[in-house]
Structure 1
Amino acid sequence: MILCCGEALIDMIPAPVQTGGTGYVPHSGGAVFNTAVALGRLDVPTGFLTGLSKDLFGEQLRETLGNSRVDTRFCILSDRPTTLAFVRLTDGHATYTFYDENTAGRSLFPDQLPDLPDEIGALYFGGISLISEPCADFYAALAMRDADERLIVMDPNIRAGFIRDEDRYRARLDAMIRRTGILKVSDEDLEWILPGPGPLDEKAGAIAARGPKIVIVTRGREGAFASFSDGTMVTAPARRVEVVDTVGAGDTFNAGVLAALASDGLLTRAGLEEIDGPRMKSALEHGARVAAVTVSRAGANPPWSHELSGPDPD
């Protein structure tokens, strides 16, 4: 099992109303949440760890997880409200305004770390849960505690406008990167982590030298590449599809990559050492295929495994 650790929130998606103007429709979301849902739909044994509210939105989130075959027994319940993220779409690209103070997801502390069963071979971290305190310290403490026993996978999905203390965030992120086996970043993330001139492949190699065996870099329509700590690099193109919006695109790409590696039994600390260039390239291609389905329809709506069956389209 892979345990996804991070935010679950409600995306308030704009929609026209009959009286004119724009209303907002609540959709279950969050970067780590989206990846967990996508993994469950791709038949990967998946659990979810977050702070979850008992309010009506928390019930919606639990129902969405359950309907996508995600194990919610690791969620920490509270009476605090659910995080809300109001979405603005411009030419299909999403920007967000968060309402996150004193929420169930944010209000986790390191002294609440759960004991985890041996069936969990990998922990996946990312999103705003690595920025917002105190939950960011909770997730960092979990990664540090379990890194010697379980594979750590991370996609920081950096939102610079959400960061209040950059030095503190950079220190936490760097400490987690050093214990991460597979790190995925967008080209924008990579430029934020290592600002200044220099090609992306060199910057990815510099990050890999800090600890990760594999650094995956996504470049939107330009596809993705993976840089190994030994200098190996493999690439995969993006799929050409008609884009409805990009909500959840990176999250479902991650799920596709992880699902491919899981199918080969590689989502463990021992399995990490067996990932080579050809297997990684195949995983990147599968991630692109999964993400292409998501961006071809509205919202973060990852595909089910049966939607990927049949011949692989060009």
Structure 2
Amino acid sequence: MQPAGPILCVLGELVVDLLPVPETGAGPEGTAPHYVARPGGNALNVAVAAGRLGAPVRLLARLGTGPLAGHLRRHAELSGVDTAAFVEAAEPVSVAVVGLGGDGSPDYGFHVLGAADWQWTDDELARALPGSVGALHVGSISSWTEPGSGAIARLVERLSGEALISVDPNIRPMLAEGPVGGSLGNDRPSVTRRLDELVSRADLVKVSAEDLAWLEPETTDLDDAAHRWAQRGPALVVLTDGGAPLRIARPGRPVLHRESPRVDVVDTVGAGDSLAAGLLTGLLATGTTTRRSLAELPDEELLALVDDAALVAALNCTRVGADPPTRDELAAARDRR
């Protein structure tokens, strides 16, 4: 049963993340490291985080084949995510093998050739949409990999002006260019062009310094980058840079900075997704579901929403993998600040 009122729709991939378990070692010869399978992927992470925060959220995803597919669905459902829009696909589920750096930052090895996530059609998306869309969040690999990226771009074009459009490039360089990217039909010019089209129609863009390092390798001034991106079409750009202050840019206004909460970081998997979910949940709760309402939102109210979103991301980083907090956990952490 669909909730009353505007719904947050999240569109993208479902990925099984294989995370290392360092304490188990790698066997006597160092050749058998242990991994645990966890649900992941930009869209699933965003939807789950929003669901745990109490947002009415529907996940538009193509559920591939394999023994872990059912766990992906169950993970979403346990967090209150509406999975009625799942497409039962014949292609396999995507898999990412994750390595962790000393600071908790992830490195990915992807096994995604021919996966279900990139095969969207216009008819599938038309059937998946609920009656009332308050916001549509798209991004990551499915938004810039054909053939499905074309259908996603057309959906964004159709909903532009009717719902808040949110875009997160979430670049994965291995899949965007080079031999692996080429096997998916991706290269730097085509991926950049597809993202340019989405960003020009977006109302909200969440972009990371890592994304910019690939999209604009000559960029060194992140303030200038945030300002430039806000002139490309979005009403709001949020630029993340690990634990450094967030940059918040709006057309015709100075770039604002916001400190991220300090926490003991276990890893940063899903941090950006959690931040996006926290911000979208806050915007939806305040009735900010159009470009005009976002543009007219006072800085004081916007920064309060950004602070909450940053806290959601920080709490996610205190746990293994993408494991965002619930609404009650966020409230408790907010009270402790």
Q: Which TM-score bucket, shorter chain as reference? A: over 0.9
1:312 is matched with 335
- Deviation larger for 84-93 or 16-25: 16-25
1:84 is matched with 95
Matches within 5 A, 1:265-280: 265-280=287-302
Counting matched residue pairs gives: 314
1:5 is matched with 11
- Deviation larger for 29-38 or 113-122: 113-122
In the superposition, relative to structure 1, how do residues 231 and 112 fare at CA in structure 2: closer, same or farther (>3 Å)? same
- Structure 2 SS opposite 1:63: helix
Match of 1:295 among 317, 325, 333: 317
2:119 is matched with 107
2:218 is matched with 196
- Structure 2 SS opposite 1:225: strand
Deviation at 1:205, TM superposition (A): 1.7
Match of 1:144 among 139, 157, 173: 157
In the superposition, relative to structure 1, how do residues 54 and 191 fare at CA in structure 2: closer, same or farther (>3 Å)? closer
Residues 208 and 240 in structure 2, CA contact (< 8 A), matched pair in contact too: yes
Matches within 5 A, 1:1-314: 1-15=7-21, 17=24, 20=27, 21-91=32-102, 92-115=104-127, 116-164=129-177, 165-197=187-219, 199-310=221-332, 311-314=334-337
Paired with 1:306 and 1:256, the residues of 2 have a C-alpha distance of: 13
Paired with 1:77 and 1:274, the residues of 2 have a C-alpha distance of: 40
- Structure 1 SS opposite 2:335: coil
Paired with 1:192 and 1:82, the residues of 2 have a C-alpha distance of: 26
Gaps of 5+ in 2: 1-6, 178-186
Residues 1-56 of structure 1: per-residue CA shift (max 9 Å, x gap): 11000111100112254882412221100012101100000001101011112533
Residues 235 and 250 in structure 2, CA contact (< 8 A), matched pair in contact too: yes
Paired with 2:198 and 2:85, the residues of 1 have a C-alpha distance of: 21
Residues 26 and 33 in structure 2, CA contact (< 8 A), matched pair in contact too: no
- Normalised TM-score (structure 1): 0.94
In the superposition, relative to structure 1, how do residues 281 and 29 fare at CA in structure 2: closer, same or farther (>3 Å)? same
Residues 241-270 of structure 1: per-residue CA shift (max 9 Å, x gap): 111111111111111112222221113345
In the superposition, relative to structure 1, how do residues 96 and 191 fare at CA in structure 2: closer, same or farther (>3 Å)? closer
Gaps of 5+ in 1: none
Paired with 2:330 and 2:229, the residues of 1 have a C-alpha distance of: 33
Deviation at 1:313, TM superposition (A): 2.8
Paired with 1:150 and 1:213, the residues of 2 have a C-alpha distance of: 13
Paired with 2:107 and 2:144, the residues of 1 have a C-alpha distance of: 17
In the superposition, relative to structure 1, how do residues 55 and 188 fare at CA in structure 2: closer, same or farther (>3 Å)? closer
- Deviation larger for 71-80 or 43-52: 71-80
Residues 226 and 247 in structure 2, CA contact (< 8 A), matched pair in contact too: no
Residues 207-248 of structure 1: per-residue CA shift (max 9 Å, x gap): 211110111111212120210012243321011111111111
Residues 106 and 134 in structure 1, CA contact (< 8 A), matched pair in contact too: yes
Deviation at 1:291, TM superposition (A): 1.0
1:78 partner letter? A
Paired with 1:208 and 1:88, the residues of 2 have a C-alpha distance of: 33
Paired with 2:331 and 2:291, the residues of 1 have a C-alpha distance of: 29
In the superposition, relative to structure 1, how do residues 169 and 313 fare at CA in structure 2: closer, same or farther (>3 Å)? same
Residues 94-129 of structure 1: per-residue CA shift (max 9 Å, x gap): 111111111221222345331433321110011111
- Structure 2 SS opposite 1:292: helix
Paired with 1:148 and 1:264, the residues of 2 have a C-alpha distance of: 18
- Deviation larger for 29-38 or 135-144: 135-144
Q: Percent identity?
A: 35
Residues 26 and 34 in structure 2, CA contact (< 8 A), matched pair in contact too: no
